[in-house]
Amino acid sequence: MTDGVIWLSRPVESDIEAITDCCQDPAIAEWVTVPTPYSRADAEDFVGNTVAEGWAATSPIWGIRLAEDGRLIGTVSLGMRPRDDTAAEIGFWLAAEHRKQGLVSRAVTLACDFGFDPDEMGLVRIYWRAFAGNHASAAVARTHGFRYEGLARLGSEHRGIRRDHWVAARLNTDPPGPADGWPAEV
């Protein structure tokens, strides 16, 4: 998939080095549930198992690229829960040098369009969660029409520690533009 600026495609074996490099970023380790330290073996497992199993279970994971055959600079995914084929959780990360350029925004637009398209996933709901304090991720969700639903107190576990997380969602009937109603601190 492309919007002419970014391309989304399934991560493959040739992306392992790029994934390994990107996941050395302490900000990714802080906000994304990836192993730390992140090794080449972790990237091999991600591509060989997580990505493969996700696509097999209609939970696509795309690599974000700046050209159709370009280097992977991030990922965006729509993860479905068992026994519910109408909702998925969106997740994303981007290499540090490519942040604040609107690239994740473009990836989220493409992923949501794919998720809501009745000829693709036909989702009714796409939800977003982030550890409390991840303001950059919250800004992306808010910009894309995700409505803030609340704070899950100690709702997630990250490296053996319970952490609060924020929750928001967008329904297939919600407009894609910025959403109102987010607390100022989020």
Domains and CATH numbers, the chain: 7-171 (3.40.630.30)
Write the pLDDT tens digit of every residue in 81-126: 777 889 999 999 999 999 999 999 999 999 999 999 999 999 999 9
Are 116 and 123 in contact by the 8 Å Cβ rule? The answer is: yes
Are 111 and 78 in contact by the 8 Å Cβ rule? The answer is: yes
Nearest 10 degrees: CA dihedral of 67, 72, 75, 81?
Answer: 100
Q: Tokens 């091999």 map to which residue?
A: 44
Write the pLDDT tens digit of every residue in 13-47: 999 999 999 999 999 999 999 999 999 999 999 99
Residue 166 in tokens: 């924020």
| pTM of the predicted structure, to 2 decimals | 0.94
State the Cα–Cα distance between residues 89 and 82, nearest whole angstrom. Answer: 12
